[in-house]
Amino acid sequence: MSSVPAIDRVIDILEAFQANQRPMSLTDLAETVGIPKSTCHAIVNTLVARGYLYTLTRPRALYPTRRMFDVARDIAAKDPLIERATPVLERLRDATRETVILGKRQGDSVIYLQVIEGLHVIRYTSKPGEFKPLHSSSIGKALLGSLKEAEMREWLSTHELPAVTTHTLTNREALISDVLASRKLGYFVTRGENVGDVWAVAAFLTSHHESLAVAVAGPQHRLQDNIPEFARLLVASCGFLSRQLLRD
């Protein structure tokens, strides 16, 4: 998937503020993002003119206004999919006490659409908008499992399967066997294949010809003995969510 460099730079500037969490000078921004100062100046001037950045005189620096937050909040609040899905995901989180994730396929990766963090102090954490590999994440396996076998085999035959951890399944036939066996069970499991000490169980659902998947993820020491129970709760939640989405 191709990208637009100018948009990449705007996002890089906003993420630089997120990472540094302090006002930054034009020079700091340009160096952090790795772009010419003149280019950074043009982008910053546009953001200032649109009310997304404000300037400080001493020290001479810039910082985002609340406008970006308000725009993002208003957009997110009216996402029809997340609005319908979140109560179901929260109930699943409450039942398992582990982190619950909703994702879908975007290109050759999984994109997380919603993350409801677990209730334990030690828990798996992630953020909406993050990308994960199809072959090593539980949601990715579930989405591969949602494909027809011939389509899944064709995709796997044309893509590399890099080792994300020492437990990642990098052999195509081993991964295909795992996915097909999991499809018969109705749920898909990763055992430290994407994050070394994290296990996860996922299931897919289809709504309006769109495949989505939900995962329950947490530390190995809690997940390994609870997979069957979590899978039962997960599959029931996916069935309920599918019916909810079909009402639209």
- The burial of 2, by beta-carbon neighbours within 10 Å (0-12 exposed, 13-18 middle, 19 or more buried), is given as exposed
- Listed in sequence order, the residues at least 6 apart from 165 whose beta carbon sits closer than 8 Å to its beta carbon are 136, 192, 193, 194, 195, 196
- When mean pLDDT is compared across 45-59, 88-102, 172-186, the lowest value belongs to 45-59
Q: What is the pLDDT of residues 5-45, one digit of tens each?
A: 889 999 999 999 999 999 999 999 999 999 999 999 999 99
Residue 138 has pLDDT above 80, yes or no: yes
* Residue 245 banded pLDDT, cuts 50, 70, 90: confident
Contact 214, 82 (CB under 8 A): no
Q: Which of 139, 132, 135, 194 is nearest to 167 (CA)?
A: 194
Domain boundaries, the chain: 5-70, 79-246
Q: What is the pLDDT of residues 89-98, one digit of tens each?
A: 999 999 999 9
Contact 177, 207 (CB under 8 A): no
**Highest CATH level, class, for 5-70:** mainly alpha
Query: pLDDT above 90 covers what percent of the chain?
Result: 87
* Residue 2 banded pLDDT, cuts 50, 70, 90: low
Residue 78: the pLDDT is: 86
Distances (CA, A) of 9 to 43, 223, 226, 241: 8, 40, 44, 37
C-alpha span between 87 and 203 (Å, rounded): 17
Q: Which CATH topology does 79-246 take?
A: Beta-Lactamase (3.30.450)
Two structure tokens written together for 28: 């700091």
Average model confidence (pLDDT) for the chain? 94
Contact 215, 100 (CB under 8 A): yes
Backbone angles phi, psi at 208, to 5 degrees: 55, 45
Q: Structure pTM? A: 0.86
Residue 80 has pLDDT above 90, yes or no: no
Q: Which of 111, 113, 95, 13 is nearest to 53 (CA)?
A: 13
Residue range 88-114: mean pLDDT, rounded: 97
Residue 30: the pLDDT is: 95
**Start-to-end CA span in the chain (Å):** 30
